[in-house]
Amino acid sequence: MKTLAEKFDAKTGNKRILALDGGGIRGALTLGYLKHIEDLIRKQHSKPDMLLCEYFDMIGGTSTGSIIAAALAKGMSVDEIRDKYFELGTKIFGKKYRWYRIFEIDDLLKAKYDDKALISELKNVFGDTLLGDQKEIKTALVIVAKRADTNSVWPLNNHPKGKFYDTEHGNNKAIPVWECVRASAAAPTYFLPQSIHVGGKDSYAAFVDGGVSMANNPALQMLMVATLKGFPYHWEMGEDKLMVVSVGTGMTRWKKLPRRISKSHLLNWASNLPEMFMQDASWQNQQIMQWLSRSPTAVEIDSEVTALEDDILTDEPGRKKGLIHYLRYNVMLDVEDLNERFKPSKPYTQKQVDSLAAMDNAKNCRKLYDLGHMAGAQEVKQEHFPANFKV
């Protein structure tokens, strides 16, 4: 297996990236998919205890995806993370600020949940591990957060040649992993922002959830981290050289009758705008990734251009190969879709689906995991992981 230095190095063979979406407690659905991916690579390599951090050269995520990504990068199996996630979810989304706690009234007006449980559980999982710990972290790690005071996306990563790793510009290597993850998961209205000592001239910076950006689906951002010259990786593109596996947390179908839209008032629009923007960003990310590839998991996002089967964005005219090998796995959280796809003995109701779509209903952990596991059984296929990407 590759060493961490070999995983960073652009010259050490084909590269594999795992990108995990944000979505609150719905990260349990992601774990259902990851169980199938882990089983598949173990079978492919004839190694029953192989970990995803051994297979992927870069693992990253946004918000809840960053929690899972960091745990995978630290060397945990999917089963270990699943068990911890079920416990963690109940604690994190179980303790709300109470109206009668007057001494916390300022926090009560800013966030729905008390972050003490979140911080405690993250410290329990990641301990004193720093972002620059070359022994504890087994692969390239990218944690996508949003710096609130500059309105910029920060892909915190552990490459030792990074501009902000250990230089006059910053000291990312000394940031505890739990703080990086807490920053990425600081969803506005759910949790308070996270302040981090980043070094350099700014010293401290305030962060909010990375999902409050174009990178709630972080696949495109991670591809840029892996390939753009400003970042330290400089991995080569080519569908036989670079694979990106992107896993979602479930997607809701936007259904609004025209007559209801025309009657919407300011409060309606205000409550719907965050979901609208996050869905737009995710679909745009996915469409661009499909444009760069000949993805076997491509879906129709825009009925005018279909699934982009005949469109490949390359640097060579007439080239029939994509610039990446791209896989996207996700579930549509829609009553008709779920009932038609899984044909449950007791059909899903709209109330049940609305409950599954909530990002803070910890009671749904097991149901979401099972849903992701059922979807993974249908979607994750051996042929999606070509032999040339074996470790």
Which residues face 117 on adjacent strands?
none
* Residues 36-62 as b or e (16 or more Cβ within 10 Å = b): bbbebbbebeeeeebbbbbbbbbbbbb
Which one from 21, 115, 209, 334 is the annotated catalytic residue?
Answer: 209
- Condensed to tens digits (0 to 9), the pLDDT of residues 344-389 reads 999 999 999 999 998 888 899 999 999 999 999 999 999 999 999 9
Residue 5: CB atoms within 10 Å = 10
Taking the alpha carbons of 118, 112, 31, 381 in that order, is the dihedral positive or negative? negative
Selection from 187, 180, 153 nearest residue 70 by Cα: 180
CATH number for 221 = 3.40.1090.10
Q: Is 107 exposed, middle or buried (0-12, 13-18, 19+ CB in 10 A)?
A: middle
Residue 196's pLDDT is 75
Domain span including residue 73 = 14-92+116-143+211-253+267-389
φ, ψ (nearest 5 deg) of residue 140: -60, 130
Do residues 95 and 117 lie in contact, with contact meaning Cβ atoms separated by under 8 Å?
Answer: yes
- Map 79-121 to HEC letters: HHHHHHHHHHHHHHCCCECCCCCHHHHHHHCCECECCHHHHHH
Do residues 329 and 33 lie in contact, with contact meaning Cβ atoms separated by under 8 Å?
Answer: yes
Catalytic: 209? yes
CA distance 199 to 246: 32
Residue 118's pLDDT is 81
Residue 107's pLDDT is 46
* DSSP assignment of 11-80: TSS-EEEEEE---GGGHHHHHHHHHHHHHHHHHHTT-TT--HHHH-SEEEEETHHHHHHHHHHTT--HHH
Selection from 18, 21, 22, 31 nearest residue 365 by Cα: 31
Residues of the chain below pLDDT 50: 97-110, 257
Residue 98's pLDDT is 47
Which one from 63, 184, 246, 295 is the annotated catalytic residue?
Answer: 63
Report the domain count for the chain: 1
Residue 180's pLDDT is 92
How distant is the alpha carbon of residue 104 from its chain centre? 31
Catalytic: 107? no
Residue 97's pLDDT is 45
Residue 317's pLDDT is 59
Residue 70 is assigned to a structural domain of this protein: yes
Residue 157 is assigned to a structural domain of this protein: no
Residue 310 is assigned to a structural domain of this protein: yes
Residue 101 is assigned to a structural domain of this protein: no
Residue 108's pLDDT is 42
CA distance 275 to 378: 27
